[in-house]
Structure 1
């Protein structure tokens, strides 16, 4: 399919759909809401911490990475559910691996935060 919009118009439409995706995640995904709240609580810590700019970027970046991975996991789960709700080992594996990716990103975040702040 050839996009009908080009340049700034395409970017604005893409941003609009991104906002729709964020809104849907907020309304439908409890884990996404919890991770956004976690980031909102931790953001002041990042801003007040006596750390270098690079360390601040790592603290903030790992928190945002968790949000990104959660969005991708939610998208993966939606696609798997769209294909069919009956149990299939590959569908279960796909969902489990998406969940594992979120867990790994959370462990990475915790490790970075502990290493920098302690």
Structure 2
């Protein structure tokens, strides 16, 4: 884990290790992230069998990544807020709620996208 001023000579390999450690942390500690990864794997497994245009498939893959990204950012915000404000503070709560709201918004958009695509296929 790098800190400002200490990681000037860090290599690409160490950066990837840090990123992998972050993903592993999220997967091992965040129930919602595990569920979202499970759903992502299922979606990715099913997509090739669906009669999708290239654009539809690309959009689906984009939303899969976007939901996971939003959850990772939410986890980072929550952990940073907990570190800065260990005791309850209304502003800290708002920051966490807004971050969680972003995940909800992206997940809802992904669900709507999936429903629109499935409705087109089933017509």
Give the TM-score normalised by structure 2.
0.88
Deviations 1:46-100 (A, max 9, x none): 1211011111010111011000000000000000001122111110000000100
Alpha-carbon separation, structure 1, partners of 2:17 and 2:48: 29
Q: Residue 49 of structure 1 aligns with which residue?
A: 50
Alignment-derived partner of residue 110 in structure 1: 111
Give the corresponding residue for 1:30: 31
CA RMSD, aligned part only?
Answer: 1.1
Which 5+ residue runs of structure 1 have no aligned equivalent? none
Structure 2 unaligned regions, length at least 5: none
Instruction: Specify the SS of the correspondent of 2:51.
Output: coil
Matched pairs, number: 114
Deviation of 1:22 (Å): 0.6
Distance 2:79 2:41 in 1: 26
Shift of 1:114: 1.1
Residues 33-112 of structure 1: pairs in structure 2 closer than 5 A: 33-112=34-113
CA distance in 2, matches of 1:102, 1:29: 13
